[in-house]
């Protein structure tokens, strides 16, 4: 089936997310910040690394002055990068446009000096001939080109001065800060000087490609996989009600409906949530066309009552602590699940903390017959990520339940008495993140660096380019496999370490990757150790349709694991979940052994306290009976105790 035109999807998004006009000084700030974000994305793509996502880079209010506008500029620029690169070549700007990594500091300093001189002297725009030596960063050039040629305003020039401000005397009376916003920087001058050529080349390329829009032009050059990423409708917005803060879910639901949101309170695969267990950890599935900006700005989201968390990201904790068999009427493991939910749990690689707080919400504290008050031990070795984990835990009201430790999980002593009550472990280790590229823009960035083939090339040159691209793809595949195998080594080590905790009954292993090297291959390689320690695969999310690769695990075992692939139609980010559980007989033996050990320790403590009481010398006061020689006291000779 032919995918819908890219430009229609973007137009629909723009209707929902139309940028309000900002003052020119603020617009310039947005462009500069967008260029910095784009520079980081390009660097990650060149180094074949998955850095931070576009959302995280652009919507951080602590670093970005105008998050929404900056996010829109970056997203829209990224989608037409291949065309912008071709236009730069067409107008012979390749010598002036330099990759950010190659941009010399002296070029930047020279640019700043020129701009400062312009501000001091209040110069007018210089003719194009004076721009030959100007150097401009590639990231900034792409942003300015998009704003000039393809943005709704199609201009990077400042607005004209209002009436009455034209003459020199009135200009001098205006504040210096206002005057400087009406001048062009050297980078802007360079782009503006090429306006005519750029527009002509854009029209020529669109006509030659028989494309009506720039987005249609780019769409035809995208590989099938990348085209699907850009073309698809946005995923449904998933959320969970934070049981650690919300006591009455009905009030929250009513407020959402009153604010105009359409949503379902029950998911087809995860169900309604855990209301029946006393923990009102409800799931909410919003309509695809919901106003996401309005939703993310609501007070209930900012204060942590409603957590916007991807559906696939909710699967690991749900699979670990929710008994799907009990929901379906089969309660063979209900007693064991009860013990698991009322005991401690470890989150081995915890940052940023959404899964950690999900675990805290799912622990059964209200019906805790064992009086152990289940805790979540959250490990994170990186200092900054550990601090972010603490912030998330505090925001979501889990600080009394979650114990954050800045420590490498592999260094945790499995026999430490501190973790003797741990019955479950959630392991979501570092991975390639290949299942999240549709929300990160990585795949599109990598293709933009290649540039695709050029319409101006003849057939021979085009075939040579295609051949070179195939060779590059083969090299990339080898690089990808090498990196995946490197990650697999850590994943195997972490999963093996988790299985060695003597009291653990259930382990959830998950990644946000779609590569088999990090998923089925890890499960297959760890199975001998798992069987030796009494573990077997447990089926999770029975209603989820997509399962693991049978050619790796076999039909029976592959049907027990969950695989999520957005490139094959799943309405959530790519994920993989496998749950290891000790056999029922083994679970019962472990529980009985630990309970017996606990009773013995309690008995020892009681006996020790009894012996301590018996061995103490008790000093008892004895009153004088009168046989002893009485001594007259100042207080009248009253009897006083004698101590023996």
Please write the tens of the pLDDT for every residue from 45-61: 777 666 667 777 887 77
462 compared with 147, residue with greater pLDDT? 147
Note down the domain range covering 182: 6-162+172-221
Q: Rounded mean pLDDT of 134-144?
A: 90
| Residue at which a domain ends, from 589, 607, 628 | 589
Query: What gap in Å lies between CA 562 and CA 544, rounded to an integer?
Result: 7
Q: Lowest mean pLDDT: which of 129-133, 388-392, 489-493?
A: 129-133
Q: Report residue 239 as tokens.
A: 């959320």
Q: Name 302's Cβ contacts closer than 8 Å, sequence gap at least 6.
A: none
User: Do 407 and 285 fall into the same domain?
Assistant: yes
Per-residue confidence (pLDDT) for residue 467, from 0 to 100: 76
Total number of domains in the chain:
2
Give me the pLDDT at residue 461, please. Answer: 64
Tell whether 110 is covered by a domain. yes
- Using an 8 Å Cβ cutoff, are 508 and 317 in contact? yes
Nearest to 30 by CA among 67, 56, 81, 75: 67
Are 38 and 125 part of one and the same domain? yes
User: HEC string of 396-451?
Assistant: CCCCCCEEEECCCHHHCCCCCHHHCCEEEEEECCCCCCHHHHHHHCHHHHHHHHHC
pLDDT at 444 (0 to 100): 64
| Alpha-helical runs (H) found in 458-583 | 459-499, 520-532, 550-553, 555-558
Same domain, 201 and 250: no
Is residue 459 domain-resident? no
In angstroms, the Cα distances linking 31 to 26, 139, 144, 637 are 9, 10, 7, 98
Q: Which distant-in-sequence residues (6+ apart) come within 8 Å of 202 by Cβ?
A: 83, 87, 149, 214
Radius of gyration, CA atoms only, the chain: 33
User: Tokens 């999310």, residue?
Assistant: 541
pLDDT, average across residues 197-203: 93
> Is residue 557 included in any domain, yes or no?
yes
- Using 50, 70 and 90 to split pLDDT, how confident is the model at 160? low
Write out the two tokens for 156: 């990077």
For residues 426 and 278, state if they share a domain. Answer: yes
Phi, psi torsion values for 369, nearest 5 degrees:
-80, -15
Higher pLDDT, 69 or 495: 495
Both tokens of 327, joined, read 């929901």
What pLDDT is stored for residue 368 in this prediction? 52
* Domain CATH number, residue 420: 3.40.50.150
Q: How far is CA 592 from CA 323, 419, 420, in A?
A: 21, 17, 14
User: Does the pLDDT value for residue 566 go beyond 80?
Assistant: yes
- 255 and 206 in a common domain: no
Q: Is residue 397 part of a domain?
A: yes
Residues 261, 265, 267, 272, Cα dihedral to 10°: 160
How many helices and strands in the chain, by DSSP H and E?
28, 16
Mean pLDDT, rounded, for 170-174: 49
* C-alpha torsion angle, residues 209, 214, 215, 216 (rounded to 10): -20
Average pLDDT over residues 494-506: 96
- 198 and 283 within one domain: no
Beta-ladder partners of 273: 282
pLDDT at 180: 41
Helix, coil or strand: residue 373: coil
Mind giving me the DSSP string for 446-471?
A: HHHHH----TTS-HHHHHHHHHHHHH
What is the pLDDT confidence band of residue 307, given thresholds at 50, 70 and 90? very high
Tokens encoding 407: 């420590």
Last residue of a domain, one of 589, 608, 630: 589
Task: Report whether pLDDT(42) > 90.
Answer: no
pLDDT value, residue 496: 97
Mean pLDDT across the chain:
79
Question: DSSP secondary-structure letter at 580?
Answer: E
Q: Give residue 164's pLDDT.
A: 53
For tokens 């100042």, the residue is: 634
Q: Is 183 inside a domain boundary?
A: yes
In this structure, the number of other CB atoms found within 10 A of the CB of residue 128 comes to: 13
Please provide the DSSP assignment of 306-371 as one string.
EE---HHHHHHHHHHH--HHHHTT--TTHHHHHHHHTSEEEESS-TT-HHHHHHHHHS--TT-TT-
Give the pLDDT confidence score for residue 433 in this predicted structure.
Answer: 86
**How does pLDDT run across 607-616, given as a tens digit for each residue?**
777 776 766 6
CA 395/CA 485 separation, integer angstroms: 36
CA-angle at 278, arms to 276 and 283, nearest 5°? 65
What is the rounded distance in angstroms from the CA atom of residue 201 to the CA atom of residue 207? 10
- Pairing, β 344-347 against β 422-427: parallel
Distances (CA, A) of 619 to 22, 292, 334, 543, 642: 85, 75, 55, 72, 10
Please state the three-class secondary structure of 166-190 as a single string. Answer: CCHHHHHHCCHHHHHCCCCCHHHHH
pLDDT of the residue at 181 = 42
Residue 29, both tokens: 């700030």
Helix (H, G, I), strand (E, B) or coil at 501: coil
Which range among 77-81, 86-90, 456-460, 544-548 has the greatest average pLDDT?
544-548
Say how far apart CA 227 and CA 444 lie, in whole Å. Answer: 9
Neighbours of 121 (CB within 10 A): 8
% of the chain at pLDDT higher than 70: 72
Instruction: Indicate if 210 and 248 belong to the same structural domain.
Output: no
Are 211 and 304 contained in the same domain?
no
CA separation for the pair 583, 506 (Å, rounded): 10
| Euclidean distance between the first and the last CA atom of the chain, given in angstroms as a whole number | 101
Task: Identify whether residues 206 and 268 lie together within a single domain.
Answer: no
Instruction: Please name the residues in contact with 313: beta carbons below 8 A apart, sequence gap of 6 or more.
Output: 354, 355, 512, 573, 575
The answer to the question of residue 552 being in a domain is yes
Residues 127 and 253 in one domain: no
Stretch (H or E) spanning 293: helix 292-296
Contacts of 274 (CB under 8 A, 6+ apart): 243, 280, 281, 282, 322, 361, 362
Residue 159 tokens read as 């607005």
Report pLDDT digits (tens) over 233-272: 678 899 999 989 998 899 999 999 999 999 998 888 888 7
Kindly state whether residues 212 and 297 are assigned to the same domain. no
The more confidently predicted of residues 628 and 524 is 524
b/e for 171-198, b at 16 or more Cβ within 10 A? eeeeeeeeebebbbbbbbbbbbbbbeeb
Per the domain annotation, does 21 fall within a domain? yes
More confidently predicted of 635 and 286:
286
528/412 same-domain check? yes
pLDDT confidence bin for 2, thresholds 50/70/90: very low
Question: Which residues sit opposite 347 in a β-bridge?
Answer: 378, 426
What pLDDT is recorded for position 118? 45
In a domain, residue 311? The reply is yes
Residue-level pLDDT at 223: 67
CA distance 325 to 53: 37
Query: Which of the listed residues 551, 567, 589 is the one where a domain comes to its end?
Result: 589
- Give 390-438 pLDDT, tens digit per residue: 999 999 999 999 999 999 999 999 999 999 999 999 999 999 888 887 6
């Amino acid at each position: 089936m032919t995918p819908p035109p890219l430009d229609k999807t973007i137009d629909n998004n723009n209707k929902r997310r139309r940028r309000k006009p900002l003052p020119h000084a603020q617009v310039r700030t947005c462009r500069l910040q967008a260029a910095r974000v784009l520079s980081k994305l390009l660097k990650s793509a060149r180094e074949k690394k998955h850095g931070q996502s576009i959302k995280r880079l652009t919507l951080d209010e602590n670093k970005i002055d105008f998050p929404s506008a900056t996010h829109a500029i970056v997203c829209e620029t990224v989608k037409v990068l291949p065309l912008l690169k071709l236009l730069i070549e067409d107008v012979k700007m390749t010598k002036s446009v330099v990759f950010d990594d190659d941009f010399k500091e002296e070029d930047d300093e020279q640019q700043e000096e020129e701009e400062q001189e312009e501000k001091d002297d209040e110069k007018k725009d210089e003719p194009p001939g004076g721009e030959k030596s100007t150097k401009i960063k590639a990231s900034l050039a792409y942003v300015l080109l998009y704003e000039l040629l393809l943005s709704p305003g199609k201009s990077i020039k400042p607005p004209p001065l209002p009436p009455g401000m034209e003459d020199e005397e009135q200009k001098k009376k205006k504040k210096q800060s206002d005057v400087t916003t009406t001048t062009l920087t050297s980078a802007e001058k360079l782009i503006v000087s090429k306006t005519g050529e750029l527009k002509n080349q854009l029209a020529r390329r669109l006509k030659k490609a028989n494309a009506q829009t720039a987005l249609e032009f780019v769409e035809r050059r995208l590989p099938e996989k990348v085209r699907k990423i850009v073309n698809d409708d946005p995923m449904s917005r998933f959320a969970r009600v934070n049981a650690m803060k919300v006591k009455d879910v009905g009030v929250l639901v009513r407020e959402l409906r009153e604010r105009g949101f359409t949503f379902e309170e029950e998911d087809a695969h995860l169900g309604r949530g855990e209301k029946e267990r006393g923990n009102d950890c409800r799931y909410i599935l919003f309509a695809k066309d919901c106003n996401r900006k309005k939703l993310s700005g609501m007070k209930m989201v900012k204060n942590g009552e409603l957590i916007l968390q991807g559906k696939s990201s909710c699967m690991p904790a749900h699979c670990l602590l929710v008994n799907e068999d009990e929901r379906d009427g089969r309660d063979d493991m209900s007693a064991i699940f009860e013990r698991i939910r009322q005991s401690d749990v470890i989150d081995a690689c915890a940052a940023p903390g959404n899964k950690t707080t999900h675990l805290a919400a799912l622990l059964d504290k209200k019906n805790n017959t064992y009086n152990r008050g289940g805790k979540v031990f959250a490990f994170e070795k990186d200092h900054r990520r550990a601090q972010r984990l603490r912030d998330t835990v505090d925001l979501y009201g889990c600080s009394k339940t979650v114990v954050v430790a800045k420590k490498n999980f592999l260094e945790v002593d499995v026999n430490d008495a501190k973790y003797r009550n741990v019955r479950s472990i959630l392991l979501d280790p570092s991975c390639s993140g290949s299942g999240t590229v549709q929300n990160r823009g990585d795949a599109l960035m990598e293709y933009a660096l290649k540039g695709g083939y050029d319409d101006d090339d003849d057939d021979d040159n085009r075939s040579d380019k295609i051949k070179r691209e195939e060779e590059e793809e083969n090299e990339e595949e080898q690089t990808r496999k090498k990196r995946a195998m490197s990650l697999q080594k850590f994943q195997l080590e972490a999963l093996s370490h988790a299985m060695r905790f003597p009291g653990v009954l259930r382990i959830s292993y998950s990644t946000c990757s779609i590569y088999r090297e990090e998923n089925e291959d890890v499960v297959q390689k760890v199975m001998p150790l798992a069987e030796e320690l009494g573990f077997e695969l447990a089926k999770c999310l029975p209603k989820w349709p997509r399962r693991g690769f049978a050619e790796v695990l076999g039909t029976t075992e592959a049907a027990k694991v969950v695989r999520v692939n957005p490139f094959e139609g799943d309405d959530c980010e790519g994920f993989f979940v496998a749950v290891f559980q000790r056999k029922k007989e083994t679970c019962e033996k472990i529980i009985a052994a630990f309970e017996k050990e606990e009773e013995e320790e309690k008995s020892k403590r009681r006996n020790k306290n009894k012996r301590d009481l018996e061995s103490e010398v008790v000093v008892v006061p004895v009153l004088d009976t009168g046989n002893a020689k009485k001594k007259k006291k100042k207080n009248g000779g009253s009897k006083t105790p004698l101590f023996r």
